[in-house]
Amino acid sequence: MGEQTLGTIGEFELINKVVAGLTQHDAVLVGPGDDTAIIDLHKAPVLITVDVLVEGRHFRRDWSTAIEIGQKAAAASLADIAAMGATATALVVGFVAPPDLPAVWASGCTAGMAQEAATVGASIVGGDVSAGEQIVLSVTAIAPAPKTPVLRSGAHVGDQVAIAGRLGWSAAGLAVLSKGFRSPRALVNAHRTPQPPYLAGPAACAAGATAMIDVSDGLIADARHIAQASNVLIAIDPRRLRIDAEVAQAATAYNLDPLLWVLTGGEDHALLATFPAQALIPADFTVIGTVEKPGDDGPGVSVGGIFDRSRGGHQHFGS
């Protein structure tokens, strides 16, 4: 008897296998198995976000395990919720895969998602599966909105700009993997399974953050999103950006400026926030700049006083 695949076990057995491994939390009034799930949000409005990961674009099966890919897929959506100052309650998952995919890969991937969700107390409450040519993971996360959700549009001139979490690690790990290496492991693992600072999101909200964003496209690109939504200049002082030794060493080995990875590398899911000048900034955050009035160049990002004119950000359809 060969290895079980999605084609041999079929849709319903796959769903049964996955659902059997899930734990549901108190907020889940109705979990998987009905036309919809029902989640108690304690009378708050709902935050909702979706992220899609595509095999060969966002992950490779020869670079990461199924569990790691599941963790990474969930992290993208969970980090979006954190960036509003909230904590995710539930995920629903769209899962597309070729029929010859080993069934253990599918259950490993959803187990990875559930594991990542559990780090913030969230559950997988539903999903849909279909056959397709390549693996596509679509993860929707919901959360009860906090009293004052932190949008991108609230940064004010005079605010402090601060970052929580890692920068440049995932980009360095991707560079290592792209050259065919599997070490340094810390960098490779950072690319495989990002470590978003989930708790820093609600902490920033409680501390009065005026704007916040999940750094998924790169520090400059995502800072620009705050700048444009808030009509301000985000002035980053590069001397205040921490360049971790692991990232610096890899950059040296590849004859690159590590600042490139720190400023433009995405997928670490750091949180970039702005705080009023007098705010007590939570311990997870490091101040890296200030919010200024836009100059002749309009709203945008400056690094070391120089306005950034790069197109910036990962272009998913770009050549």
User: Which residues between 4 and 63 bind a copy of itself (CB under 8 A)?
Assistant: 5-7, 9-12, 14, 29-30, 33-41, 43, 45-54, 57-58
Among 3, 21, 99, 254, binds a copy of itself (CB under 8 A): 99
18: phi then psi, degrees, rounded to nearest 5: -65, -45
CB 222, min distance to a copy of itself, A: 10
Among 22, 66, 129, 203, binds a copy of itself (CB under 8 A): 129
23 class by beta-carbon count within 10 Å (0-12 exposed, 13-18 middle, 19+ buried): exposed
33: phi then psi, degrees, rounded to nearest 5: 120, -5
303: phi then psi, degrees, rounded to nearest 5: -125, 115
Give the DSSP H/E element, type plus range, for residue 95. Answer: strand 90-97
Preceding amide of 146 cis, omega within 30: no
CB 286, min distance to a copy of itself, A: 20
**Between residues 64 and 89, which has the closer beta carbon with respect to a copy of itself?**
89
Q: Scanning residues 138 to 157, which ones bind a copy of itself (CB under 8 A)?
A: 138, 140-143, 145, 149, 151-153
Would you give the binding string for a copy of itself spanning residues 247-286, x where CB under 8 A is met? Answer: ----------------------------------------
Among 1, 20, 62, 133, binds a copy of itself (CB under 8 A): 133
State how far the Cα of 17 lies from the Cα of 9, in Å rounded to an integer. Answer: 10
Residue 131, CB half-sphere, CA atoms under 13 Å: how many?
Answer: 13
The radius of gyration of the chain from alpha carbons, rounded to an integer in Å, stands at 20
Would you give the binding string for a copy of itself spanning residues 209-238, x where CB under 8 A is met? Answer: ---xxx--------------x---------
